[in-house]
A = this chain, B = another copy of it.
Amino acid sequence: MSLSRQQIRDLRRLQQKKYREEERAFLIEGVRLCEEALAAGAPVECAFFFPDGMENPRARSLLQALSGREIPLQPVDATTLAALTETRSPQGIAALVRAGETGPFSPAGNREPLVLAVDDLADPGNLGTLLRTAVWFGVKSLLLSRDTVELHNPKVVRSSMGALFRLRIHEGIDLEQTAAAARSAGWRLLAAEAAGGQPAHRISGGGRDLLIIGSEAHGLKSGLDQLIDLRITIPGSGGVESLNAAIAAGILLYQLTGSH
């Protein structure tokens, strides 16, 4: 049994942000991303695979793992698979994943040592890389401002390499309000500053740190900027204006989580 035209149309609509938000669902593609979703216990609803593209051992054991979890497996032809996904050379499998419902972020109740907040980041590859980096350094919760690129954008999902399944991500956050609430609840607010801040090498994690990553182009919005307790400067310059936001975030996470 194959997919009906209506089913294909419904799935294809998930290439658009509007429908992903309406349905609270998105498609992931490729063996690796499906493996990551399963390993992290993400709510995979069903998978669509092109049998001829899934004959290597790794792909087969993924299919076994999916059916072991009683996730419906739908064989499709190569054309259908390509139609469901955005990439030019589909990778044999795609899966429909339900977007998690994270609920509000409560700064008073949260006891994690370091939470990351992302303000107004537009580039999807950058956000995906940032998620992957955050997981590497043990971050559990992450806040995304309303004006940050959508979490389930296919490029974010791909470049996160599955990291989005391992984080508690609060989307659509009013960061100014949340940062103010966090500050009142005893959190230290940190942000990178291109020049003039505390040298990064001297900073240590403080226990309840909210690290805010802003857009490279505009910096933090003024309301948010004036809440910052600790401005951190990564030494350098050499003729470039700034570091990429994900690189700066990686360095600050490395510094804040390091043992010194």
Contact = CB atoms under 8 A, between A and B. Distances in A.
Interface stretch (A11-19, A70-78, A250-258): A250-258
Q: Which of A39, A162, A238 has the most CB of B within 10 A?
A: A238
A254 B239 contact: no
Nearest to A136: B236
Q: How many of these chains are in the complex?
A: 2
A210 B167 CA distance: 35
B259 A201 contact: yes
Contact of A257 (B132, B162, B163, B236): B236
Contacts of A166: 238-240
A134 to B, nearest CB: 8
A244 B40 contact: no
Interface residues of A, number: 39
B129 A244 contact: yes
Q: Which of A136, A234, A246 has the most CB of B within 10 A?
A: A136
Interface of A: 39-40, 125, 129, 132-133, 135-139, 161-163, 166, 199-201, 234-244, 246-247, 250-251, 254-255, 257-260
Given A199-B259, A201-B260, 20 more contacts: A132-B243, A132-B247, A133-B243, A136-B234, A136-B236, A136-B238, A136-B242, A137-B236, A138-B236, A138-B238, A161-B240, A161-B241, A163-B240, A166-B238, A201-B259, A236-B257, A243-B250, A247-B247, A247-B250, A251-B254
28 contacts: A40-B239, A125-B125, A129-B244, A129-B247, A132-B243, A132-B247, A135-B239, A136-B237, A136-B238, A136-B243, A138-B238, A162-B240, A163-B239, A166-B239, A199-B259, A200-B254, A201-B258, A201-B260, A234-B254, A235-B258, A235-B259, A236-B257, A246-B247, A247-B247, A250-B250, A251-B251, A254-B254, A254-B255
